[in-house]
Amino acid sequence: MKRKQKRFLQMTLLFTVALIFLPNIGLWSLYKDKHLVKSAEPGEQQTFPLGLGDGQFYSWTDGLRRKDWHDYESIQKEAMRSGKGEHGKPYPLTEEDHDDSAYRENGFNIFVSNNIALERSLPDIRHANCKHKMYLERLPNTSIIIPFHNEGWTSLLRTIHSIINRTPESLIAEIILVDDFSEREHLKDKLEEYMARFSKVRIVRTKKREGLIRTRLLGASMARGEVLTFLDSHCEVNVNWLPPLLNQIALNHKTIVCPMIDVIDHNHFGYEAQAGDAMRGAFDWEMYYKRIPIPPELQRADPSDPFESPVMAGGLFAVDRKWFWELGGYDPGLEIWGGEQYEISFKVWMCGGEMFDVPCSRVGHIYRKYVPYKVPSGTSLARNLKRVAETWMDEFAEYIYQRRPEYRHLSTGDISAQKELRKQLKCKDFKWFMAAVAWDVPKYYPPVEPPPAAWGEIRNVAANLCVDSKHGATGTELRLDICVKDGSERTWSHEQDRTLFHPVSNSCMDCNPAEKKIVMARCDPLSETQQWIFEHINMTVLEKLNHHASS
C-alpha cells in the first residue's frame, strides 16, 4: 500500500473510533487516560486533533498532551469593538494633535494614547498557521516583569490591561511593576489604588535611580513564577501571545524566547509589523543591533515555527527563572543601560542554551520619538559593551576596537567573576558562536581585519637565512634562503589572529600536525593549524610599530 493511502486509512479508522467513543464521556475519558498519552510509533510523528465536546482539543505527537490555548470568547468580544484606534487602526489626527507638547513628557503622542480605549482591540496579524497551533496542556506559569520610569498613565495602564485580557489567567503567577524611582505623581498612590483591582499585580520600587538593568534584576529577584517574562511599560500584547513562548521553554528549559515585536506608531498608535517582519537579530562591529533576513538554511517548512536568533533586541523575552539565575542573571557589573541584550544572548548560546524568535507570539511596542528623560551616566553604554566584549568575545573583541579605538582605554571594572562563571558553566568560545550560530552575520557586517602584530622577514639567528616560500612542481613549499633587503618575496606579516601571511603568494603558513610538516595553504583564520605563537612579543613595541606604520 502507498504511504498516503495507509495514512488515510489510519485517519479514517481513528475518526471512527473517536465517533464511537465520543458520546460516552465516561468511557471516553477512561480511554483517553489509558491511550491518548501513549507515544506515537517511533519514526512516525502523528498529530490528530480530536474534539472532546468541551471546546478543548487534544493532540499527541510525543506522549505530551497539547491543547488549543485561544480564548475564543475574548476574541469574539474584541471583534465587536468599535471606536477610534480600535483594531489597531491609526487614530485620525488633526493638525493641532501633532503639537509637540503631546510628545514632551513621554516621547510619544500621549494625547492619542489618552483618547483611545485602554482595552482597545488589536488586529490578529499572525501567520495563518498560528491559528491552528496547539501547545502543551501543562505549561509553566510566569512572572511578568515590567520595569518603568516616568511612564505615561494611559500607556502603562494599556500595557497591563492588554496582558490581563489576552493571557490565560492560570499562566500568570504575578505581574511585577518595578518603578525605577519615578517622579511623576500619577505613578505613586494613584497607581497603587488603580492596580488594587488586579490581585496579581505587585508594585515594587527602587530606592534610588538604578537604571534599566538593575531595575529588571530587582524584579527578577522578587519573582516567584517558574518563568520570567520581561516586557516594556509601553506595550500591547496580542492574541494568544504567551502560550507559544512558554511552550518552547517547557520543551527545553535552557531556552530563551522572544516574541515578534510589532510597531505601535508614536504619533497615531496604529499597530503594524516591523518592516520585513520575521528577521534574525544580529550586530555590526560597533555593536549596533541589526536585523538580517533569515537565511534559507534556517527557513522552516512552516514559517510560523520558531527560528534561531543569534542576539535578542532587548526588552521583551521569556526565560526559565532557575536557569536565568544559574547563568548569573545579568552581569551585575553592567551599569544603567545598554549591552545587556548581548551579554544574555552570548551567554545563552555559548553556555549550552538556545534562543528562538517565536512568530506566533506578537507584542506591540511603542518605539518612542526620543527618550524623554535624562539617561544617567553617558559612558555606561560604551563601558558595558567593552565589558561584554572582554568577557565573552575573545579575540573578536579586537574587531570592535578597530572601529571604536576609544574603547581600548576604557575601564571595564573587574570581570574576573564573569570569567570564572564562564569557566564554571563550561561555555564554548566565541569562535564557536560565530561559526555555529551567527555564521551569516559577517556576510552583512564584515569585520575589518586588524593590522598585523609583526611583519617583514623571519630570520633564523643561527643560519642567518630567511624563511621563503617557493612555488615549484610539488606546490608551494617552504625553505630557507638568503635574506635580501626589501626582498618582498621573503616578507611575512604576523596577524593578530596569529596567522603568518605571505603577501606574495597570498597564502598562509600552515602545517600537517600528523606528519610534522610545514606547508603553505590558503589562509583560514579559523584553522588552528595556521596559528603560530611567537615566544616573545613586546606589545608596547609592536603597537608603536603599528602606529608608525599607519601614520
Count of residues engaged in binding ligand NAG, rule: CB under 6 A: 7
Q: How far is the CB of 318 from ligand NAG (least distance, A)?
A: 14
Q: How far is the CB of 20 from ligand NAG (least distance, A)?
A: 36
Contact with ligand NAG (CB under 6 A) among 538, 548, 550, 551: 538
Compute the chain's Rg from CA coordinates.
Answer: 29
When the beta carbons of 136 and 480 are compared against ligand NAG, the nearer one is 136
- Residue 66: closest CA among 140, 134, 129: 134
What is the dihedral sign for C-alpha 391, 394, 398, 403? negative
Q: How far is the CB of 540 from ligand NAG (least distance, A)?
A: 4
Q: What's the full length of the chain, in residues?
A: 551
Which residue type is seen at 268?
A: H
When the beta carbons of 177 and 421 are compared against ligand NAG, the nearer one is 177
Contact with ligand NAG (CB under 6 A) among 45, 541, 547, 549: 541
Q: Is the distance from CB of 278 to CB of 378 less than 8 angstroms? A: no
When the beta carbons of 13 and 541 are compared against ligand NAG, the nearer one is 541
Measured CA to CA, the distance from residue 239 to residue 167 in angstroms comes to 8
Q: What is the DSSP string of 387-441?
A: HHHHHH-GGGHHHHHHH-GGGGG------HHHHHHHHHTTPPPHHHHHHHTSTTH
Q: How far is the CB of 457 from ligand NAG (least distance, A)?
A: 21
State the DSSP code for 464: T
Number of alpha helices (DSSP H) and beta strands (DSSP E) in the chain: 17, 24
When the beta carbons of 91 and 323 are compared against ligand NAG, the nearer one is 323
| Region near ligand NAG per CB under 6 A, out of 61-69, 323-331, 517-525, 536-544 | 536-544
Distances (CA, A) of 51 to 58, 59, 295: 7, 10, 38
Q: How far is the CB of 175 from ligand NAG (least distance, A)?
A: 11
| Region near ligand NAG per CB under 6 A, out of 83-91, 247-255, 513-521, 534-542 | 534-542
When the beta carbons of 474 and 538 are compared against ligand NAG, the nearer one is 538
Per DSSP, the three-state class of 177 is strand
Q: Is the distance from CB of 387 to CB of 415 less than 8 angstroms? A: yes
- Residues 122-151 contacting ligand NAG, CB under 6 A: 141
Measured CA to CA, the distance from residue 538 to residue 523 in angstroms comes to 25
Q: How far is the CB of 70 from ligand NAG (least distance, A)?
A: 21
Q: How far is the CB of 529 from ligand NAG (least distance, A)?
A: 29
When the beta carbons of 225 and 315 are compared against ligand NAG, the nearer one is 225
Q: Would you count residue 540 as binding ligand NAG (CB under 6 A)? A: yes
When the beta carbons of 300 and 544 are compared against ligand NAG, the nearer one is 544
| Region near ligand NAG per CB under 6 A, out of 98-106, 229-237, 264-272, 533-541 | 533-541
When the beta carbons of 141 and 412 are compared against ligand NAG, the nearer one is 141
Q: How far is the CB of 168 from ligand NAG (least distance, A)?
A: 12
Backbone angles phi, psi at 440, to 5 degrees: -90, -10
Grid coordinates of 335: 551599569
Q: Would you count residue 246 as binding ligand NAG (CB under 6 A)? A: no
Q: How far is the CB of 172 from ligand NAG (least distance, A)?
A: 8
For the chain, percent helix, then strand, then coil, each to nearest 5?
A: 35, 20, 45
b/e map of 411-442 (b: 16 or more CB within 10 Å)? ebeebeebeebbeebebbebbebbeebbebbe
Q: How far is the CB of 545 from ligand NAG (least distance, A)?
A: 11
Q: How far is the CB of 138 from ligand NAG (least distance, A)?
A: 9
Taking residue 369's Cβ as centre, other Cβ atoms within 10 Å add up to 14
Measured CA to CA, the distance from residue 481 to residue 465 in angstroms comes to 5
When the beta carbons of 226 and 236 are compared against ligand NAG, the nearer one is 226
| Region near ligand NAG per CB under 6 A, out of 25-33, 148-156, 404-412, 535-543 | 535-543
When the beta carbons of 145 and 344 are compared against ligand NAG, the nearer one is 145
- Residues 141-200 contacting ligand NAG, CB under 6 A: 141, 173
State the DSSP code for 40: P
* H/E element, 493: strand 492-494
When the beta carbons of 82 and 540 are compared against ligand NAG, the nearer one is 540
Q: Would you count residue 398 as binding ligand NAG (CB under 6 A)? A: no
Q: How far is the CB of 537 from ligand NAG (least distance, A)?
A: 9
| Region near ligand NAG per CB under 6 A, out of 74-82, 443-451, 497-505, 538-546 | 538-546
Q: How far is the CB of 376 from ligand NAG (least distance, A)?
A: 34
Contacts of 447 (CB under 8 A, 6+ apart): 285, 396, 399, 402
Which residue type is seen at 478?
A: L
Residues 416-435, mask of contacts with ligand NAG (x by CB under 6 A): --------------------
When the beta carbons of 82 and 538 are compared against ligand NAG, the nearer one is 538
Per DSSP, the three-state class of 449 is coil
Which residue type is seen at 392?
A: W
When the beta carbons of 147 and 225 are compared against ligand NAG, the nearer one is 225
- Residue 66: closest CA among 83, 76, 52: 52
Measured CA to CA, the distance from residue 218 to residue 177 in angstroms comes to 10
Contact with ligand NAG (CB under 6 A) among 226, 262, 357, 497: 226
Residue numbers at the binding site for ligand NAG (CB under 6 A): 141, 173, 225-226, 538, 540-541
